[in-house]
Structure 1
Amino acid sequence: MNSPITSTLEQLPFSHWQPVIIGAPVIESFDTGLSHQVFKVSFATIERGEQKITPLFVAKHVANRETRHAEFDALQRAFQCGVSVKPIYVDDNWLITEYFNGDCLESLDLDIEQKLEIALSLVAKFHQSVKHGATSINLQQVIDKLISKSGLSPKHQQLLSTVTVEHLLPQPDCGNLVHGDVNFTNVLVNQADNTAKLIDFEAASYASMEYELGMMMSVNFIHPDTFFRVLKQSSYLCALCPKKVTRNAIMSSIINVLWYFTHDHENGTQVFKNTAFAQLEHLDLLTNEKYLLIKEMR
Protein backbone atom coordinates (compact mmCIF):
# COMPACT_ATOMS: atom_id res chain seq x y z
CA MET A 1 0.00 0.00 0.00
CA ASN A 2 1.45 3.32 -1.05
CA SER A 3 -0.47 6.55 -0.44
CA PRO A 4 0.13 9.89 1.29
CA ILE A 5 -1.73 8.68 4.36
CA THR A 6 0.34 5.50 4.73
CA SER A 7 3.56 7.37 3.94
CA THR A 8 2.77 9.67 6.86
CA LEU A 9 1.95 6.68 9.06
CA GLU A 10 5.32 5.11 8.29
CA GLN A 11 7.05 8.18 9.75
CA LEU A 12 5.51 7.82 13.21
CA PRO A 13 7.97 6.82 15.97
CA PHE A 14 6.88 3.19 16.42
CA SER A 15 10.40 2.12 17.39
CA HIS A 16 10.15 4.20 20.58
CA TRP A 17 7.36 1.98 21.87
CA GLN A 18 8.62 -1.51 21.11
CA PRO A 19 12.39 -2.13 21.20
CA VAL A 20 12.27 -5.61 19.62
CA ILE A 21 10.96 -4.44 16.25
CA ILE A 22 13.21 -4.24 13.24
CA GLY A 23 12.82 -2.73 9.80
CA ALA A 24 9.96 -0.71 8.31
CA PRO A 25 6.32 -1.23 9.26
CA VAL A 26 3.98 -3.42 7.20
CA ILE A 27 0.75 -1.44 6.87
CA GLU A 28 -2.59 -3.01 5.95
CA SER A 29 -5.97 -1.30 5.74
CA PHE A 30 -8.74 -2.73 7.87
CA ASP A 31 -12.06 -3.21 6.08
CA THR A 32 -13.91 -1.66 9.01
CA GLY A 33 -15.48 1.59 10.12
CA LEU A 34 -17.72 3.93 8.14
CA SER A 35 -16.19 7.25 9.09
CA HIS A 36 -12.41 6.75 9.44
CA GLN A 37 -9.52 4.91 7.85
CA VAL A 38 -8.06 2.24 10.15
CA PHE A 39 -4.77 0.38 9.64
CA LYS A 40 -3.06 -2.66 11.14
CA VAL A 41 0.65 -1.99 11.64
CA SER A 42 2.98 -5.00 11.78
CA PHE A 43 6.74 -5.31 12.17
CA ALA A 44 9.42 -7.93 11.81
CA THR A 45 10.18 -9.10 15.35
CA ILE A 46 12.68 -11.46 16.91
CA GLU A 47 11.19 -14.11 19.19
CA ARG A 48 13.29 -17.02 20.48
CA GLY A 49 15.87 -16.28 17.81
CA GLU A 50 13.33 -16.42 14.98
CA GLN A 51 12.15 -13.51 12.86
CA LYS A 52 8.47 -13.17 12.02
CA ILE A 53 5.93 -10.51 11.06
CA THR A 54 3.88 -9.55 14.10
CA PRO A 55 0.91 -7.14 14.25
CA LEU A 56 1.62 -4.69 17.07
CA PHE A 57 -0.50 -1.58 16.58
CA VAL A 58 -3.77 -0.26 15.19
CA ALA A 59 -3.67 3.27 13.75
CA LYS A 60 -6.79 5.32 13.07
CA HIS A 61 -6.70 8.46 10.96
CA VAL A 62 -9.04 11.04 12.54
CA ALA A 63 -9.44 14.54 11.15
CA ASN A 64 -11.32 16.06 14.09
CA ARG A 65 -8.78 17.02 16.76
CA GLU A 66 -11.34 17.42 19.56
CA THR A 67 -12.92 14.02 18.86
CA ARG A 68 -9.53 12.34 18.57
CA HIS A 69 -8.23 13.54 21.94
CA ALA A 70 -11.53 12.82 23.70
CA GLU A 71 -11.41 9.28 22.34
CA PHE A 72 -7.81 8.87 23.55
CA ASP A 73 -8.80 9.99 27.06
CA ALA A 74 -11.76 7.58 27.11
CA LEU A 75 -9.52 4.76 25.95
CA GLN A 76 -7.09 5.46 28.77
CA ARG A 77 -9.84 5.09 31.34
CA ALA A 78 -11.24 1.97 29.69
CA PHE A 79 -7.76 0.40 29.54
CA GLN A 80 -7.19 1.12 33.23
CA CYS A 81 -10.26 -0.93 34.15
CA GLY A 82 -9.36 -3.75 31.77
CA VAL A 83 -12.08 -3.46 29.14
CA SER A 84 -10.12 -1.98 26.23
CA VAL A 85 -6.79 -1.99 24.45
CA LYS A 86 -3.89 0.19 25.55
CA PRO A 87 -3.81 3.64 23.90
CA ILE A 88 -0.29 4.42 22.73
CA TYR A 89 -0.13 7.73 20.91
CA VAL A 90 -2.23 10.63 19.65
CA ASP A 91 -1.30 13.63 17.50
CA ASP A 92 -2.95 15.97 14.99
CA ASN A 93 -3.87 13.12 12.63
CA TRP A 94 -3.45 9.76 14.33
CA LEU A 95 -4.73 7.74 17.26
CA ILE A 96 -2.70 4.58 17.86
CA THR A 97 -3.46 1.66 20.16
CA GLU A 98 -1.95 -1.73 20.82
CA TYR A 99 -3.16 -4.51 18.56
CA PHE A 100 -5.56 -7.03 20.11
CA ASN A 101 -5.74 -10.44 18.44
CA GLY A 102 -9.47 -10.98 18.42
CA ASP A 103 -12.46 -11.55 16.17
CA CYS A 104 -15.33 -9.11 15.81
CA LEU A 105 -18.22 -10.20 18.05
CA GLU A 106 -20.66 -9.60 15.20
CA SER A 107 -18.91 -12.25 13.08
CA LEU A 108 -18.84 -15.02 15.71
CA ASP A 109 -21.13 -18.04 15.46
CA LEU A 110 -23.09 -17.14 18.59
CA ASP A 111 -26.76 -16.38 19.08
CA ILE A 112 -27.90 -12.86 19.85
CA GLU A 113 -28.24 -13.52 23.58
CA GLN A 114 -24.68 -14.86 23.87
CA LYS A 115 -23.34 -11.82 22.03
CA LEU A 116 -25.37 -9.52 24.24
CA GLU A 117 -24.06 -11.19 27.41
CA ILE A 118 -20.45 -10.57 26.32
CA ALA A 119 -21.11 -6.92 25.43
CA LEU A 120 -23.10 -6.25 28.62
CA SER A 121 -20.37 -7.76 30.81
CA LEU A 122 -17.86 -5.28 29.36
CA VAL A 123 -20.25 -2.35 29.78
CA ALA A 124 -21.01 -3.31 33.39
CA LYS A 125 -17.30 -3.56 34.24
CA PHE A 126 -16.59 -0.23 32.55
CA HIS A 127 -19.36 1.61 34.37
CA GLN A 128 -18.55 0.09 37.73
CA SER A 129 -14.95 1.29 37.41
CA VAL A 130 -15.36 4.70 35.77
CA LYS A 131 -17.17 7.11 38.07
CA HIS A 132 -15.93 10.45 36.73
CA GLY A 133 -18.91 12.71 36.17
CA ALA A 134 -19.23 15.71 33.87
CA THR A 135 -21.93 17.68 32.07
CA SER A 136 -24.24 15.22 30.36
CA ILE A 137 -24.72 15.12 26.61
CA ASN A 138 -27.71 17.17 25.37
CA LEU A 139 -29.61 14.76 23.14
CA GLN A 140 -32.00 17.43 21.86
CA GLN A 141 -29.06 19.52 20.62
CA VAL A 142 -27.44 16.47 19.02
CA ILE A 143 -30.67 15.60 17.19
CA ASP A 144 -31.35 19.20 16.09
CA LYS A 145 -27.84 19.48 14.65
CA LEU A 146 -28.16 16.20 12.77
CA ILE A 147 -31.60 17.15 11.42
CA SER A 148 -30.17 20.36 9.97
CA LYS A 149 -27.47 18.39 8.11
CA SER A 150 -29.54 15.34 7.12
CA GLY A 151 -30.79 16.46 3.69
CA LEU A 152 -34.27 15.18 4.60
CA SER A 153 -37.39 16.98 3.41
CA PRO A 154 -39.06 19.42 5.85
CA LYS A 155 -41.93 16.92 6.25
CA HIS A 156 -39.58 14.10 7.28
CA GLN A 157 -37.57 16.40 9.52
CA GLN A 158 -40.77 17.42 11.30
CA LEU A 159 -41.83 13.79 11.71
CA LEU A 160 -38.58 12.86 13.46
CA SER A 161 -38.77 16.03 15.56
CA THR A 162 -42.25 14.98 16.70
CA VAL A 163 -41.01 11.55 17.75
CA THR A 164 -38.18 13.23 19.65
CA VAL A 165 -40.46 15.61 21.54
CA GLU A 166 -42.84 12.81 22.53
CA HIS A 167 -40.17 10.42 23.84
CA LEU A 168 -37.21 12.50 25.06
CA LEU A 169 -36.67 12.11 28.79
CA PRO A 170 -35.27 14.92 30.97
CA GLN A 171 -31.51 14.53 30.76
CA PRO A 172 -29.39 14.45 33.94
CA ASP A 173 -27.21 17.49 34.55
CA CYS A 174 -24.25 15.21 35.27
CA GLY A 175 -23.50 11.93 33.51
CA ASN A 176 -20.88 9.22 33.68
CA LEU A 177 -18.47 8.36 30.89
CA VAL A 178 -20.14 6.06 28.35
CA HIS A 179 -18.78 4.30 25.27
CA GLY A 180 -21.74 5.55 23.25
CA ASP A 181 -21.62 2.97 20.45
CA VAL A 182 -21.46 -0.58 21.82
CA ASN A 183 -22.08 -2.10 18.43
CA PHE A 184 -21.10 -5.78 18.23
CA THR A 185 -18.59 -4.67 15.59
CA ASN A 186 -16.88 -2.64 18.34
CA VAL A 187 -16.28 -5.68 20.54
CA LEU A 188 -13.31 -7.97 19.86
CA VAL A 189 -13.15 -11.49 21.31
CA ASN A 190 -10.06 -13.67 21.59
CA GLN A 191 -11.57 -17.14 21.61
CA ALA A 192 -8.28 -18.79 22.58
CA ASP A 193 -8.17 -17.22 26.04
CA ASN A 194 -11.82 -16.10 26.23
CA THR A 195 -11.05 -12.40 26.62
CA ALA A 196 -12.97 -9.50 25.10
CA LYS A 197 -12.25 -5.81 24.57
CA LEU A 198 -14.25 -2.73 23.64
CA ILE A 199 -12.75 -0.68 20.81
CA ASP A 200 -13.57 2.56 18.97
CA PHE A 201 -14.49 5.10 21.64
CA GLU A 202 -15.16 7.79 19.05
CA ALA A 203 -18.72 8.33 20.34
CA ALA A 204 -17.70 8.43 24.02
CA SER A 205 -19.50 11.11 26.02
CA TYR A 206 -21.04 11.73 29.42
CA ALA A 207 -24.57 10.40 29.76
CA SER A 208 -26.82 8.09 31.74
CA MET A 209 -26.45 4.33 31.85
CA GLU A 210 -29.92 4.13 30.28
CA TYR A 211 -28.56 5.99 27.26
CA GLU A 212 -25.61 3.60 26.96
CA LEU A 213 -27.93 0.58 26.98
CA GLY A 214 -30.53 2.23 24.75
CA MET A 215 -27.86 2.91 22.13
CA MET A 216 -26.66 -0.69 22.41
CA MET A 217 -30.19 -1.97 21.82
CA SER A 218 -30.68 0.37 18.87
CA VAL A 219 -27.38 0.04 17.05
CA ASN A 220 -27.52 -3.78 17.20
CA PHE A 221 -31.20 -3.94 16.17
CA ILE A 222 -32.10 -6.00 19.26
CA HIS A 223 -35.73 -6.70 20.10
CA PRO A 224 -36.61 -5.17 23.50
CA ASP A 225 -37.91 -8.51 24.84
CA THR A 226 -34.58 -10.18 24.10
CA PHE A 227 -32.60 -7.26 25.46
CA PHE A 228 -34.37 -7.10 28.81
CA ARG A 229 -34.40 -10.88 29.22
CA VAL A 230 -30.60 -10.89 29.08
CA LEU A 231 -30.29 -7.66 31.06
CA LYS A 232 -32.07 -9.27 34.03
CA GLN A 233 -29.14 -11.67 34.37
CA SER A 234 -26.70 -8.83 35.13
CA SER A 235 -26.49 -8.16 38.86
CA TYR A 236 -25.16 -4.66 38.18
CA LEU A 237 -27.50 -3.60 35.35
CA CYS A 238 -30.76 -5.40 36.16
CA ALA A 239 -32.08 -2.60 38.41
CA LEU A 240 -32.29 -0.10 35.55
CA CYS A 241 -35.78 0.97 34.47
CA PRO A 242 -36.80 -0.77 31.19
CA LYS A 243 -39.05 2.14 30.18
CA LYS A 244 -36.18 4.62 30.51
CA VAL A 245 -33.84 2.33 28.56
CA THR A 246 -36.45 1.92 25.81
CA ARG A 247 -37.05 5.67 25.51
CA ASN A 248 -33.30 6.19 25.27
CA ALA A 249 -33.24 3.48 22.59
CA ILE A 250 -35.81 5.51 20.66
CA MET A 251 -33.59 8.62 20.92
CA SER A 252 -30.60 6.52 19.88
CA SER A 253 -32.43 5.18 16.83
CA ILE A 254 -33.34 8.73 15.79
CA ILE A 255 -29.69 9.77 16.18
CA ASN A 256 -28.55 6.77 14.13
CA VAL A 257 -31.18 7.35 11.42
CA LEU A 258 -30.09 10.97 11.07
CA TRP A 259 -26.39 10.10 11.15
CA TYR A 260 -26.80 7.64 8.28
CA PHE A 261 -29.01 9.98 6.25
CA THR A 262 -26.50 12.80 6.79
CA HIS A 263 -23.64 10.66 5.48
CA ASP A 264 -25.79 9.46 2.58
CA HIS A 265 -26.55 13.13 1.78
CA GLU A 266 -22.87 14.07 1.93
CA ASN A 267 -21.38 10.99 0.26
CA GLY A 268 -24.18 9.36 -1.75
CA THR A 269 -23.20 5.89 -0.53
CA GLN A 270 -25.99 3.31 -0.68
CA VAL A 271 -24.83 1.49 2.45
CA PHE A 272 -25.67 4.57 4.54
CA LYS A 273 -29.19 4.83 3.12
CA ASN A 274 -29.83 1.10 3.58
CA THR A 275 -28.74 1.24 7.21
CA ALA A 276 -30.83 4.36 7.81
CA PHE A 277 -33.95 2.48 6.69
CA ALA A 278 -32.99 -0.53 8.81
CA GLN A 279 -32.80 1.84 11.80
CA LEU A 280 -36.18 3.31 10.85
CA GLU A 281 -37.65 -0.19 10.88
CA HIS A 282 -36.23 -0.75 14.37
CA LEU A 283 -37.58 2.66 15.44
CA ASP A 284 -41.05 1.55 14.29
CA LEU A 285 -40.63 -1.56 16.46
CA LEU A 286 -39.63 0.49 19.51
CA THR A 287 -42.60 2.88 19.08
CA ASN A 288 -45.12 0.08 18.35
CA GLU A 289 -45.51 1.42 14.79
CA LYS A 290 -47.25 4.54 16.07
CA TYR A 291 -45.66 6.73 13.40
CA LEU A 292 -45.31 4.25 10.49
CA LEU A 293 -41.91 5.76 9.78
CA ILE A 294 -40.85 3.29 7.09
CA LYS A 295 -44.08 3.91 5.17
CA GLU A 296 -43.90 7.68 5.58
CA MET A 297 -40.22 8.11 4.73
CA ARG A 298 -39.72 5.69 1.84
Structure 2
Amino acid sequence: MTGGAGFIGSHLIDRLLAAGHDVVCVDNLVTGTMRNIDHLQGNPRFAFLRHDITAPLDVEVDEIYNLGCPASPIHYQRDPVQTMKTAVLGALNMLDLAKRLGVPILQASTSEVYGDPLVHPQPETYWGNVNPIGLRSCYDEGKRCAETLFFDYHRQHGVEIRIARIFNTYGPRLHHADGRVVSNFIVQALRGDPVTICGDGSQTRSFCFVSDMVDGLVRLMCAGDGVTGPVNFGNPREFTMRELAHVILRKTGSRSPIVYLPLPEDDPRQRRPDIARARSALGWNPSIELEDGAGETVGYFRRHLGLVGT
Protein backbone atom coordinates (compact mmCIF):
# COMPACT_ATOMS: atom_id res chain seq x y z
CA MET A 1 0.00 0.00 0.00
CA THR A 2 1.80 3.13 -1.16
CA GLY A 3 0.58 6.26 0.60
CA GLY A 4 -0.58 4.05 3.45
CA ALA A 5 0.05 6.67 6.14
CA GLY A 6 -2.27 9.10 4.39
CA PHE A 7 -5.94 9.78 4.93
CA ILE A 8 -7.62 7.20 2.67
CA GLY A 9 -4.66 4.83 2.74
CA SER A 10 -4.70 4.38 6.51
CA HIS A 11 -8.42 3.59 6.50
CA LEU A 12 -7.90 1.12 3.67
CA ILE A 13 -5.15 -0.61 5.67
CA ASP A 14 -7.53 -0.94 8.63
CA ARG A 15 -10.09 -2.58 6.35
CA LEU A 16 -7.58 -5.01 4.82
CA LEU A 17 -6.13 -6.02 8.19
CA ALA A 18 -9.63 -6.61 9.53
CA ALA A 19 -10.22 -8.93 6.55
CA GLY A 20 -7.16 -10.99 7.53
CA HIS A 21 -4.56 -9.66 5.09
CA ASP A 22 -0.93 -8.86 5.82
CA VAL A 23 -0.16 -5.27 4.78
CA VAL A 24 3.10 -3.48 3.99
CA CYS A 25 2.55 0.28 4.30
CA VAL A 26 4.93 2.29 2.09
CA ASP A 27 5.09 6.05 2.66
CA ASN A 28 7.74 8.79 2.63
CA LEU A 29 5.73 10.81 5.21
CA VAL A 30 5.83 14.02 3.17
CA THR A 31 2.06 14.38 3.53
CA GLY A 32 1.20 11.20 5.41
CA THR A 33 1.69 10.97 9.15
CA MET A 34 2.58 8.24 11.61
CA ARG A 35 -0.34 9.36 13.74
CA ASN A 36 -2.67 7.74 11.20
CA ILE A 37 -1.05 4.34 11.68
CA ASP A 38 0.24 4.49 15.26
CA HIS A 39 -2.59 2.22 16.37
CA LEU A 40 -1.20 -0.51 14.08
CA GLN A 41 2.28 -0.63 15.61
CA GLY A 42 2.81 -4.06 17.14
CA ASN A 43 0.30 -5.74 14.82
CA PRO A 44 2.20 -8.78 13.47
CA ARG A 45 0.38 -8.53 10.14
CA PHE A 46 1.40 -4.90 9.58
CA ALA A 47 4.77 -3.50 8.50
CA PHE A 48 5.82 0.08 7.76
CA LEU A 49 8.46 0.92 5.16
CA ARG A 50 9.61 4.51 4.76
CA HIS A 51 10.27 4.89 1.05
CA ASP A 52 9.77 7.39 -1.78
CA ILE A 53 8.13 5.66 -4.75
CA THR A 54 10.00 7.84 -7.23
CA ALA A 55 12.72 5.23 -6.55
CA PRO A 56 12.19 1.54 -7.41
CA LEU A 57 10.79 -0.70 -4.70
CA ASP A 58 11.57 -4.38 -4.15
CA VAL A 59 9.05 -6.22 -1.98
CA GLU A 60 7.18 -9.52 -2.29
CA VAL A 61 3.39 -9.01 -2.26
CA ASP A 62 0.32 -10.47 -3.94
CA GLU A 63 -1.49 -7.21 -4.77
CA ILE A 64 -0.61 -3.51 -4.89
CA TYR A 65 -2.67 -0.44 -4.02
CA ASN A 66 -0.94 2.68 -5.36
CA LEU A 67 -2.20 5.66 -3.33
CA GLY A 68 1.13 7.45 -3.02
CA CYS A 69 0.78 11.09 -4.12
CA PRO A 70 -0.02 14.45 -2.51
CA ALA A 71 -3.75 15.00 -3.06
CA SER A 72 -4.61 18.48 -1.81
CA PRO A 73 -3.76 21.71 -3.68
CA ILE A 74 -1.71 23.12 -0.79
CA HIS A 75 0.44 19.99 -0.72
CA TYR A 76 0.79 19.23 -4.41
CA GLN A 77 1.47 22.87 -5.38
CA ARG A 78 4.23 23.19 -2.76
CA ASP A 79 6.62 21.21 -4.96
CA PRO A 80 4.90 20.70 -8.34
CA VAL A 81 7.89 19.02 -9.98
CA GLN A 82 8.07 16.45 -7.19
CA THR A 83 4.30 15.96 -7.43
CA MET A 84 4.61 15.12 -11.12
CA LYS A 85 7.53 12.80 -10.41
CA THR A 86 5.51 11.00 -7.73
CA ALA A 87 2.49 10.59 -10.00
CA VAL A 88 4.44 9.43 -13.08
CA LEU A 89 7.67 7.83 -11.84
CA GLY A 90 5.78 6.36 -8.89
CA ALA A 91 3.29 4.77 -11.27
CA LEU A 92 6.12 3.42 -13.44
CA ASN A 93 7.92 1.90 -10.48
CA MET A 94 4.79 0.28 -9.06
CA LEU A 95 3.79 -1.03 -12.50
CA ASP A 96 7.25 -2.53 -12.93
CA LEU A 97 6.86 -4.22 -9.56
CA ALA A 98 3.41 -5.56 -10.50
CA LYS A 99 4.81 -6.80 -13.81
CA ARG A 100 7.73 -8.60 -12.13
CA LEU A 101 5.51 -10.21 -9.50
CA GLY A 102 2.57 -10.93 -11.80
CA VAL A 103 0.09 -9.34 -9.35
CA PRO A 104 -2.86 -6.95 -9.77
CA ILE A 105 -2.33 -3.25 -9.11
CA LEU A 106 -4.91 -0.58 -8.28
CA GLN A 107 -4.25 3.04 -9.15
CA ALA A 108 -5.87 5.73 -7.01
CA SER A 109 -6.69 8.23 -9.73
CA THR A 110 -8.86 11.28 -9.24
CA SER A 111 -11.83 13.28 -10.42
CA GLU A 112 -9.27 15.97 -11.27
CA VAL A 113 -8.67 14.11 -14.55
CA TYR A 114 -11.96 15.73 -15.65
CA GLY A 115 -10.63 19.23 -14.97
CA ASP A 116 -13.31 21.94 -15.09
CA PRO A 117 -15.88 19.68 -16.71
CA LEU A 118 -18.12 20.65 -19.62
CA VAL A 119 -20.19 17.48 -19.07
CA HIS A 120 -22.26 17.05 -15.92
CA PRO A 121 -22.33 14.66 -14.12
CA GLN A 122 -19.02 13.19 -15.24
CA PRO A 123 -19.04 9.64 -16.69
CA GLU A 124 -15.85 7.66 -17.17
CA THR A 125 -16.20 8.09 -20.94
CA TYR A 126 -15.69 11.86 -20.64
CA TRP A 127 -12.13 12.89 -21.57
CA GLY A 128 -12.11 16.04 -19.47
CA ASN A 129 -11.34 19.74 -19.78
CA VAL A 130 -7.91 20.18 -18.19
CA ASN A 131 -5.51 23.13 -18.36
CA PRO A 132 -2.10 21.52 -19.06
CA ILE A 133 -0.06 24.54 -17.89
CA GLY A 134 -1.95 25.82 -14.84
CA LEU A 135 -1.15 25.72 -11.14
CA ARG A 136 -3.12 22.48 -10.69
CA SER A 137 -1.62 20.78 -13.74
CA CYS A 138 1.15 18.97 -11.87
CA TYR A 139 -1.52 16.88 -10.15
CA ASP A 140 -4.20 16.75 -12.86
CA GLU A 141 -1.86 15.88 -15.70
CA GLY A 142 0.31 13.66 -13.51
CA LYS A 143 -2.72 11.50 -12.71
CA ARG A 144 -3.84 11.51 -16.35
CA CYS A 145 -0.37 10.34 -17.42
CA ALA A 146 -0.45 7.63 -14.75
CA GLU A 147 -3.73 6.31 -16.17
CA THR A 148 -2.12 6.19 -19.62
CA LEU A 149 0.81 4.21 -18.23
CA PHE A 150 -1.51 1.76 -16.49
CA PHE A 151 -3.40 0.98 -19.67
CA ASP A 152 -0.19 0.76 -21.72
CA TYR A 153 1.29 -1.73 -19.25
CA HIS A 154 -1.99 -3.65 -19.39
CA ARG A 155 -2.04 -3.80 -23.18
CA GLN A 156 1.69 -4.23 -23.76
CA HIS A 157 2.74 -6.38 -20.79
CA GLY A 158 -0.52 -7.97 -19.62
CA VAL A 159 -0.39 -6.34 -16.18
CA GLU A 160 -3.69 -6.77 -14.32
CA ILE A 161 -4.82 -3.22 -13.53
CA ARG A 162 -7.64 -1.41 -11.75
CA ILE A 163 -8.15 2.37 -11.98
CA ALA A 164 -10.33 4.17 -9.44
CA ARG A 165 -11.25 7.81 -10.04
CA ILE A 166 -11.75 9.19 -6.54
CA PHE A 167 -14.06 12.16 -6.02
CA ASN A 168 -14.06 14.40 -2.91
CA THR A 169 -13.67 12.21 0.17
CA TYR A 170 -13.82 13.23 3.82
CA GLY A 171 -13.83 11.74 7.29
CA PRO A 172 -11.60 11.19 10.34
CA ARG A 173 -7.84 11.55 9.74
CA LEU A 174 -8.21 14.37 7.23
CA HIS A 175 -5.21 16.63 7.71
CA HIS A 176 -6.36 19.79 9.47
CA ALA A 177 -4.19 22.09 7.31
CA ASP A 178 -4.31 20.49 3.87
CA GLY A 179 -6.57 23.13 2.33
CA ARG A 180 -9.45 20.80 1.52
CA VAL A 181 -12.82 22.40 1.88
CA VAL A 182 -14.33 20.05 4.50
CA SER A 183 -11.36 20.25 6.87
CA ASN A 184 -11.00 23.99 6.25
CA PHE A 185 -14.63 24.70 7.15
CA ILE A 186 -14.58 22.44 10.22
CA VAL A 187 -11.38 23.87 11.69
CA GLN A 188 -12.47 27.45 11.01
CA ALA A 189 -15.88 26.85 12.57
CA LEU A 190 -14.49 25.11 15.66
CA ARG A 191 -12.01 27.93 16.21
CA GLY A 192 -14.68 30.57 15.75
CA ASP A 193 -12.84 32.00 12.75
CA PRO A 194 -14.66 33.16 9.61
CA VAL A 195 -15.62 30.29 7.32
CA THR A 196 -13.98 31.21 4.01
CA ILE A 197 -15.69 30.33 0.74
CA CYS A 198 -13.77 30.85 -2.48
CA GLY A 199 -15.88 32.44 -5.21
CA ASP A 200 -19.58 33.15 -4.71
CA GLY A 201 -20.26 29.74 -3.15
CA SER A 202 -22.35 28.44 -6.05
CA GLN A 203 -19.69 25.98 -7.25
CA THR A 204 -20.56 22.38 -6.35
CA ARG A 205 -18.87 19.25 -5.08
CA SER A 206 -20.03 15.77 -4.06
CA PHE A 207 -18.73 14.41 -0.76
CA CYS A 208 -18.09 10.71 -0.10
CA PHE A 209 -17.43 9.44 3.42
CA VAL A 210 -14.16 7.56 3.72
CA SER A 211 -15.68 4.19 4.73
CA ASP A 212 -17.80 4.20 1.56
CA MET A 213 -14.70 5.03 -0.51
CA VAL A 214 -12.66 2.24 1.06
CA ASP A 215 -15.47 -0.22 0.35
CA GLY A 216 -15.42 0.79 -3.31
CA LEU A 217 -11.66 0.38 -3.63
CA VAL A 218 -11.75 -3.10 -2.08
CA ARG A 219 -14.62 -4.14 -4.33
CA LEU A 220 -12.68 -2.95 -7.38
CA MET A 221 -9.55 -4.86 -6.41
CA CYS A 222 -11.60 -8.01 -5.84
CA ALA A 223 -13.57 -7.69 -9.08
CA GLY A 224 -11.13 -9.62 -11.25
CA ASP A 225 -9.32 -8.76 -14.46
CA GLY A 226 -12.58 -8.07 -16.27
CA VAL A 227 -13.00 -4.73 -14.50
CA THR A 228 -9.95 -2.64 -15.30
CA GLY A 229 -11.78 0.65 -14.93
CA PRO A 230 -11.60 3.52 -14.84
CA VAL A 231 -14.42 3.50 -12.30
CA ASN A 232 -15.77 6.63 -10.62
CA PHE A 233 -16.12 6.50 -6.84
CA GLY A 234 -17.96 9.33 -5.11
CA ASN A 235 -21.28 10.29 -3.64
CA PRO A 236 -23.54 11.59 -6.43
CA ARG A 237 -25.42 13.94 -4.10
CA GLU A 238 -24.28 17.45 -4.99
CA PHE A 239 -23.80 20.43 -2.65
CA THR A 240 -22.88 24.04 -3.24
CA MET A 241 -20.09 25.41 -1.10
CA ARG A 242 -22.65 27.60 0.68
CA GLU A 243 -24.72 24.51 1.53
CA LEU A 244 -21.66 22.70 2.83
CA ALA A 245 -20.71 25.67 5.00
CA HIS A 246 -24.13 25.70 6.61
CA VAL A 247 -23.99 21.94 7.28
CA ILE A 248 -20.64 22.40 9.04
CA LEU A 249 -21.88 25.37 11.05
CA ARG A 250 -24.85 23.30 12.26
CA LYS A 251 -22.68 20.32 13.18
CA THR A 252 -20.14 22.41 15.07
CA GLY A 253 -22.70 24.72 16.68
CA SER A 254 -20.46 27.59 15.61
CA ARG A 255 -21.52 31.19 15.03
CA SER A 256 -18.62 31.85 12.67
CA PRO A 257 -19.46 34.29 9.88
CA ILE A 258 -19.13 33.26 6.24
CA VAL A 259 -16.79 35.38 4.12
CA TYR A 260 -16.07 35.15 0.40
CA LEU A 261 -12.61 35.13 -1.19
CA PRO A 262 -11.43 35.15 -4.82
CA LEU A 263 -11.75 31.85 -6.67
CA PRO A 264 -8.40 30.08 -7.22
CA GLU A 265 -7.12 29.55 -10.75
CA ASP A 266 -8.73 26.62 -12.62
CA ASP A 267 -10.99 25.73 -9.68
CA PRO A 268 -13.76 23.51 -11.12
CA ARG A 269 -17.22 25.04 -11.11
CA GLN A 270 -19.03 21.76 -10.63
CA ARG A 271 -18.13 18.20 -9.82
CA ARG A 272 -20.45 15.20 -9.49
CA PRO A 273 -19.70 11.59 -10.40
CA ASP A 274 -21.78 9.39 -12.61
CA ILE A 275 -21.46 6.13 -10.66
CA ALA A 276 -23.53 3.88 -12.94
CA ARG A 277 -20.45 1.78 -13.72
CA ALA A 278 -19.61 1.23 -10.05
CA ARG A 279 -23.20 0.27 -9.33
CA SER A 280 -23.53 -2.18 -12.20
CA ALA A 281 -20.04 -3.73 -12.20
CA LEU A 282 -19.34 -3.76 -8.46
CA GLY A 283 -22.69 -3.40 -6.70
CA TRP A 284 -21.27 -0.33 -4.98
CA ASN A 285 -23.37 2.53 -3.74
CA PRO A 286 -22.37 5.04 -1.03
CA SER A 287 -24.56 4.89 2.06
CA ILE A 288 -23.30 7.64 4.42
CA GLU A 289 -25.11 10.98 4.06
CA LEU A 290 -23.20 14.23 4.49
CA GLU A 291 -25.07 15.19 7.68
CA ASP A 292 -23.97 11.96 9.38
CA GLY A 293 -20.43 11.86 8.02
CA ALA A 294 -19.86 15.52 8.83
CA GLY A 295 -20.89 14.91 12.43
CA GLU A 296 -18.36 12.09 12.80
CA THR A 297 -15.65 14.18 11.15
CA VAL A 298 -16.33 17.16 13.43
CA GLY A 299 -16.06 14.82 16.42
CA TYR A 300 -12.66 13.64 15.19
CA PHE A 301 -11.33 17.20 14.94
CA ARG A 302 -12.65 18.07 18.39
CA ARG A 303 -10.85 15.08 19.94
CA HIS A 304 -7.59 15.16 18.03
CA LEU A 305 -6.97 18.89 17.82
CA GLY A 306 -8.59 19.97 21.07
CA LEU A 307 -10.76 22.51 19.27
CA VAL A 308 -13.94 23.85 20.83
CA GLY A 309 -16.75 25.75 19.20
CA THR A 310 -17.77 29.25 20.06
| TM category, shorter | under 0.3
Normalising by structure 1, what TM-score? Answer: 0.27
Q: Which has the higher contact order (CA 8 A, sep 6+)?
A: 2
Higher helix share: 1
